[in-house]
Chains A and B, each alone.
Chain A
Amino acid sequence: MLKINGQETDAAGKSISEYLSSANYEPRQIVVEINEEIIAKERYGETILKDGDVVEIISFMGGG
Chain B
Amino acid sequence: MQEKDEKDTLVLGGKEFHSRFILGSGKYSLQLIEAAVRDAGAEIVTLAVRRAQTKEHENILSYIPEGVTLLPNTSGARDAHEAVRIAHLARELCGSNFVKIEIMRDTKYLLPDNAETIRATEILAKEGFVVLPYMYPDLNVGRDLVSAGAAAVMPLAAPIGSNRGLATRDFIQMLIDELDLPVIVDAGIGKPSQACEAMEMGAAAVMANTALATAGNLTMMASAFRQAIDAGRKAYLSGLGRVLVRGAASSDPLTGFLRD
Contact = CB atoms under 8 A, between A and B. Distances in A.
A31 interface: yes
Chain A contact patch, size range: 20 to 34
B38 interface: no
B49 to A, nearest CB: 6
Interface stretch (B51-59, B198-206, B238-246): B51-59
Contact of B24 (A26, A30, A33, A63): A63
Chain B contact patch, size range: 35 or more
A56 B187 CA distance: 29
A6 B52 CA distance: 12
A63 B51 contact: no
A25 to B, nearest CB: 6
Interface string B4-25: 0000000000000000000011
Contacts of B52: 5, 25, 29-30, 57-59
B60 A64 contact: no
A60 B210 contact: no
A36 interface: yes
Nearest to B62: A29
6 contacts: A5-B52, A25-B54, A29-B59, A38-B92, A61-B49, A62-B60
